[in-house]
A and B are shown apart, each in its own frame.
Chain A
């Protein structure tokens, strides 16, 4: 007979007891032996796979209920099943980052005493989008329902959709203009939004009156509740087959097995030791309309990460030395940071699908209090936390990859994800109605390179491993803009022996609207927010926006003259400037401007991934194919890679000239050696520059902030440059 004495305990006591047993035994919930797995492994594995399957099935069903192209087209949804204490047992595919953020939400309610008030009962529906309780950002709205079996709470079913509109100060969900919590949009803070399996009417009214596009949010709520009920009933059916005692034990064993599996995989795939990486992010808002003067308008973020892999297989990530939180929307909460870790693990170490919260338990995060990773002010905004979160976990992917490299698993090396510049909009739709929407074609960036092949072109983002840009026709149904181009951006992948995947750019004609507000976020200014690996270069991720107002496009089309489909490859004069007259604008940083109207042209480009290996080792034949197909320009092939590509007039195809390539590469190699200097010599010059503090104000302030928050960063910085212990940076402009 299995021990079921815990079941009758109040839920909060049960959760605390579970945490205590984990602390005492080192095993999840005190599960020190996997006896059910040992007794009948086939039954054990079959049940786990069934749970996984019913999650996948519930999500697919729910996507058909949604009205949002984000959920229907791009799959911005995930569902999962939890223990009564809120630990994930099984999950679907989709935006898996939220599997653990939802866990935090459930635990938060339990610890806040929700059993007593507002009560947890069969048929209840709870919702949350407060990142300090458990989510990443306001548009990530999650619903959970308790699963009762014959009067006993046996688990939770949960679902998250990313909402395309959340009613913030600017339209969309990733509200870049939000500088405090109060401008991010509609908050639902661990609220009971329904009973008896029905969403409350007054909650729906609140949504309808506070959102620009309530149909997305409200139907997503129905989709999530339907998926939760579907999972709940399926779990109850399973318990009917296997018995309550077996369920209560096996669900815990699945998690403990996941924890042990994570540690074993780390020992199998990596090398113990200390790994270090960093990336940067430039936030530039000076002079932009709408931003309140609450802090410095421009900010340079450093994101250093030290990863330790211990001999028992634990992965520890430490963000010591990064920047403070700020009056902008890019702050993150520990829930979001946990989620980033979880979704990365699911892709790189636990890709067989049976992952659960156990994997997360095999890791530790050190998030310095007061930094953007763990703000000491819960009123700060987190609407675009992905802006820093994605680059940060791109670093984590490279650190893990260094471990895979050391262990010989070259096929797993991955230069990592890149940021996802979002475009969001609102105003008057092409149907004459009010609307608001986030455009989710960003879910298909270029990926970082692998150590054995180029990265994926326009086919990967870390936050949604299904990575789909959606069909043009679907997006056009939902916004007053027509595509006049959706094009691969040549040379947008980081160069290397294996190049990063290329990105794409969309060019739109604003159509059938007198008032369209366009806002963008999550793209770095002035610094690349990614990196290459083993000699590969970062992808060029400082794209600006190029816009034309009051164009002559109607005259051009009437006269059947060429119109632009992209900005082209001339960085100094775009195709827009070459082909269209009107008021041209090139804008840096988050785009925020006066409303657009029909006839304007707007462009928005996404990011390519970083490269791997030395450019001089790239395959010339593959490079010729790249030039032929628009992934590289012939100029780049010659000047960056030393690969000479010519057109074969007989076949009308590009071909590599191998003899000329060998000579060009030798020339580049000689020049490389000639120009380089010993690092010691360079350091001597640089240390003088540091003592003199000859840096841009934003760079000096970045160092000063990091040193103020982190004694370790300070001492390492001073030690490296041989500075006296009292050295600090001045913070005056």
Chain B
């Protein structure tokens, strides 16, 4: 069964592992100890001590905090209970004019802003762009992911969460 050092996994997550090594990992049987190694790498990357339970974005995690299990940005900004849609407590910028769409698409044919808008969900603290939605105006904001966190730790990882 495959297994890789924490350093290799760290480079893989950072996108700095050389391609030939990455390709080998992609082609091999998956390493069963990956999840906790990745958590360890991510835990080292953040400046706060709350335990990361699950990554749900490139810079977004579910973490165990004194305030309960919350969705938390890498910068430390918290978006509240992880079962609620974190986007509702983010900041948003909506591209719905030719001028603002052209900023991102300088050379292309554009969508019709009456039919589609681009929504950017931004961390109010650090300004990281967590997610982008391209949708019709008026479309409800997506709740991208509602993990069965307890079931995952209990039945799949065999390490039930406390509380």
Contact = CB atoms under 8 A, between A and B. Distances in A.
A binds B: yes
Interface of A: 267-269, 271-280, 282, 300, 302, 311, 402, 405-412, 451-453, 490-492, 495, 497-498, 526-528, 530-538, 540, 542-544, 569-571, 612-616, 633, 635-636, 639-640, 669-670, 672-673, 675-680, 682-683, 686, 689-690, 695-696, 698-699, 702-703, 716-717, 720-721
25 contacts: A267-B156, A272-B152, A273-B152, A300-B136, A311-B156, A405-B55, A405-B56, A409-B30, A411-B12, A452-B17, A453-B15, A453-B19, A526-B115, A527-B136, A533-B131, A534-B131, A535-B128, A571-B110, A616-B128, A672-B129, A679-B89, A679-B90, A699-B137, A717-B140, A720-B141
A408 B39 contact: yes
Contact of B130 (A535, A569, A636): A535
Contacts of A683: 88, 141
Interface stretch (B43-51, B63-71, B116-124): B116-124
B162 interface: no
B144 A537 contact: no
A534 B15 CA distance: 15
A269 B29 CA distance: 11
A204 B12 CA distance: 56
Contacts of B127: 669-670, 672-673
Interface string B124-163: 1001111111111111111111111101100110000000
Interface residues of B, number: 75
B132 A699 contact: no
Contacts of A406: 54-56, 145, 147
Contact of A569 (B15, B107, B142): B107
Given A535-B130, A538-B134, A698 B146 contact: no
Contacts of A276: 142-145
A537 B134 CA distance: 8
B35 A613 contact: no
Contacts of B132: 531-532, 535-538
Interface string B57-88: 11100000000000000000000000000011
Interface string B5-19: 000010011010101
Q: Is the interface of A mostly helix, strand, loop or mixed?
A: mixed
B136 A699 contact: yes
Contacts of B116: 280, 282, 526-528
Contact of B30 (A268, A275, A675, A682): A268
Nearest to B42: A408
B115 A411 contact: no
A410 B13 contact: yes
A271 B82 CA distance: 15
Contacts of B103: 639-640
Residue among A406, A409, A677 with most chain B CB within 10 A: A406
B131 A452 contact: no
A410 B26 CA distance: 10
B97 to A, nearest CB: 12
B107 A280 contact: no
A702 B134 contact: no
A535 B107 contact: no
Nearest to A640: B104
Nearest to B131: A535
B134 A542 contact: no
B108 A407 contact: no
Interface of B: 9, 12-13, 15, 17, 19, 22, 25-26, 30, 32, 34-35, 37-39, 54-59, 87-94, 103-112, 114-116, 118, 120-122, 124, 127-149, 151-152, 155-156
A652 B145 CA distance: 47
B138 A302 contact: no
A498 to B, nearest CB: 7
Contact of B110 (A535, A540, A639): A540
Contacts of B137: 689, 695, 699
Contacts of A498: 15
A680 B115 contact: no
Given A277-B142, A535-B131, 6 more contacts: A271-B148, A526-B116, A527-B136, A534-B130, A676-B124, A698-B115
A616 B133 CA distance: 18
Given A273-B145, A273-B146, A534-B131, A408 B37 contact: yes
Contact of B22 (A452, A540, A696): A452
A591 to B, nearest CB: 14
Contact of A673 (B12, B89, B124): B124
Contact of A407 (B25, B35, B112, B121): B35
B132 to A, nearest CB: 5
A497 B58 contact: yes
Contacts of A537: 104, 118, 132, 134
Contacts of A273: 145-149, 152
Contact of A679 (B9, B88, B115, B148): B88
A300 B129 contact: no
A616 B120 CA distance: 14
B109 A689 contact: no
A680 B124 contact: no
A29 B86 CA distance: 44
Contacts of A451: 15, 58
A490 B88 contact: no
A123 to B, nearest CB: 42
Nearest to A570: B107
A676 B120 contact: yes
B12 to A, nearest CB: 6
B104 A495 contact: yes
Nearest to A312: B155
Contacts of A721: 140
